[in-house]
Amino acid sequence: MGRLEGKVAVITGGASGIGEASVRLFAEEGAEVVVADVQDERGGGLASELGAEYVHADVTREEDVEAAVSHAVDAYGRLDCMFNNAGIAGAVGPIESVTVEAFDRTVAVLLRGVFLGIKHAAPVIRAQGGGSIINTASVAAIRTGYGNHVYSAAKAGVVQLTRSVAMELGEDNVRVNCVLPGYIPTPMIALARGVPLGEADGKLGVITESFREAQPIRRPGRPDDIAKAALWLASDDSGFVNGHALVVDGGVSGGRMWSDYQDAIKGLERKLGLSR
């Protein structure tokens, strides 16, 4: 029996990257899944492959998010997990180059989208006696230099929104937690740097190789690393976990790697005329 047997989950941004990995793992573990995304062809194909449901959902539009939650209830009669995962890289570049339009779009997807998912899932999950809401944040929420300015600020907002709402909904046995991925190669990284949508998947090998040495665990993160963390937060195994920010980053946010520190010390010793 799977860890999500009998449960129903909505996963936003479920057509690719971390979302797709989560859809596949949740379904494998027995959940009925609603894939919510704006990539209709890809999301619909994934849903058909797994026997899941697909709904077009732009998470910046309240009516779309509300419809995704309603779709789950109409199709399966309940909602046990809302995984607010949809994201974009958003505004890039130095602060003076960021337009108001890019700022608003970034915050709309990354923070308002999470807010709307919580808002519309909460009453359904609360009414049935409990469940789990999971939000995707980032190590950029807790460390500078791991994301663009507006992205980092929006993800920090996701962490604090998670903690704050957990104090309200926890009283009704609705757990609200977030997962903070580190360097995870996904098509979004290529898209953020101007690679056309149809070519982004083909750049994953290059992105993956560039992340190989970025953290103490000497391999790039994988979407399924985050999916496994989300699975735990969705399952009853984490039944006493609420308001938690779960970092899944191979240790990158812990600080300077030991080997880098040693290289820096050796460089300093050379400048001082010392040797050992």
> Which residues carry out catalysis?
138, 151, 155
Helices 62-76 and 113-127: crossing angle in degrees, nearest 10, is 30
Helix (H, G, I), strand (E, B) or coil at 97: helix
Q: 40, 55 in Cβ contact below 8 A?
A: no
User: What sign for the dihedral angle of Cα 157, 15, 248, 98?
Assistant: negative
> What six digits make up the tokens of 85?
């995962």
Contact 57, 37 (CB under 8 A): yes
| Sequence-distant (≥ 6) Cβ neighbours of residue 166 within 8 angstroms | 175, 176, 177, 242, 243
Helix axes 17-28, 223-234, angle to 10 degrees: 50
Tokens for 150, please give them: 């507006």
DSSP per residue over 178-242, as a string?
EEEE-S---HHHHHHTT--GGGSGGGHHHHHHHTTTSSSSSS---HHHHHHHHHHHHSGGGTT--
| Cα three-residue angle 109-241-230, rounded to 5 degrees | 45
- In angstroms, the CA 125 to CA 120 distance is 9
